[in-house]
Amino acid sequence: MRTRAEYASLARSPRLYRRTAERPETYWTAALGEPPAVYGERTAEQAGTLLRRWDPSRSKLGAAIARGWTEPLPRPGERWLYLGAASGTTASHVADLVGPAGAVFAVEKSLRSFARLLRLAGRYPNLGPILADARRPDDYLELVPPVDGLYLDLAQPDQAEIALANARRMLKRDGGLLLALKTSSMGRDLGPRGHLERTVAQLEDSFEVGPSMPLEPFHRKHYLVGAWATKRIALDAGGTPPARPPTRPPSRAAPPR
Ligand SMILES: C[S@@+](CC[C@H](N)C(=O)[O-])C[C@H]1O[C@@H](n2cnc3c(N)ncnc32)[C@H](O)[C@@H]1O
Taking only the tens place, the pLDDT of each residue in 142-166 is 999 999 999 999 999 999 999 999 9
Q: Which residues of 171-188 are buried (b: 16+ CB within 10 A; e: fewer)?
A: bbeebbbbbbbbbeebee
Residue 79 is assigned to a structural domain of this protein: yes
Residue 246: per-residue pLDDT: 44
**Is the CB of 156 within 6 Å of ligand 1?**
yes
Confidence grade of residue 2 (pLDDT, cut at 50, 70, 90): very low
Name the helix (H) or strand (E) containing 213. strand 207-214
Which atom of ligand 1 sits closest to the CA of residue 134?
A: 20
CA of 133 from ligand 1 middle (Å) equals 10
Same domain, 16 and 143: no
Confidence grade of residue 255 (pLDDT, cut at 50, 70, 90): very low
Same domain, 137 and 40: no
Residue 48 is assigned to a structural domain of this protein: yes
Laid out side by side, the sheet with 26-30 consists of 7-10, 13-19, 26-30, 49-53, 43-46
Average pLDDT over residues 130-146: 97
Same domain, 123 and 187: yes
* Number of domains the chain contains: 2
Phi, psi dihedral angles at 122 (to 5 degrees)? -60, -25
Same domain, 48 and 84: no
The pLDDT of residue 243 is above 80? no
Q: What confidence tens digit (pLDDT) does each residue in 20-49 have?
A: 888 899 999 999 978 889 999 999 999 999
What's the distance, CA 40 to chain centroid? 20
C-beta separation of 56 from 89 below 8 A = no
Same domain, 218 and 139: yes
Same domain, 117 and 212: yes
**Which has more confidence, 166 or 1?**
166
CA of 153 from ligand 1 middle (Å) equals 6
Same domain, 146 and 229: yes
Average pLDDT over residues 103-119: 98
- Report the DSSP pairing between strands 222-229 and 171-182: antiparallel
| Closest Cα to atom 23 of ligand 1 | 84
Residue 243 is assigned to a structural domain of this protein: no
- In 3D space, the residue among 54, 120, 117 whose CA is nearest the CA of residue 87 turns out to be 117
Same domain, 19 and 68: no
Residue 136 is assigned to a structural domain of this protein: yes
Query: Considering only 19-23, 63-67, 114-118, which range has the smallest mean pLDDT?
Result: 19-23
Phi, psi dihedral angles at 89 (to 5 degrees)? -55, -60
What is the SS3 assignment for 20? coil
Name the helix (H) or strand (E) containing 27. strand 26-30
What is the domain extent for residue 37? 7-54
Residue 254: per-residue pLDDT: 54
The answer to whether the bond into 36 is cis (omega within 30° of 0) is: yes
Kindly state the percentage of the chain with pLDDT values over 70.
Answer: 89
Give the Cβ contact number of residue 150 at 10 Å. Answer: 25
Residue 48: per-residue pLDDT: 92
Residue 98 is assigned to a structural domain of this protein: yes
C-beta separation of 109 from 132 below 8 A = yes
Residue 251 is assigned to a structural domain of this protein: no
**Is the CB of 93 within 6 Å of ligand 1?**
no
The pLDDT of residue 248 is above 70? no
Same domain, 166 and 87: yes
Residue 253: per-residue pLDDT: 57
Residue 247 is assigned to a structural domain of this protein: no
Same domain, 161 and 230: yes
Residue 256: per-residue pLDDT: 38
Same domain, 187 and 100: yes
Residue 252 is assigned to a structural domain of this protein: no
The Cβ-side half-sphere exposure at 114, using a 13 Å CA radius, reads 18
Domain CATH for 197: 3.40.50.150
Same domain, 80 and 203: yes
The pLDDT of residue 191 is above 70? yes
Residue 232: per-residue pLDDT: 86
Confidence grade of residue 244 (pLDDT, cut at 50, 70, 90): very low
To test the ligand 1 pocket, which listed residue (55, 59, 96, 108) has its Cβ within 8 A of the most ligand atoms?
Answer: 108
Residue 250: per-residue pLDDT: 62
What's the distance, CA 10 to chain centroid? 18
- In 3D space, the residue among 180, 208, 173 whose CA is nearest the CA of residue 195 turns out to be 180
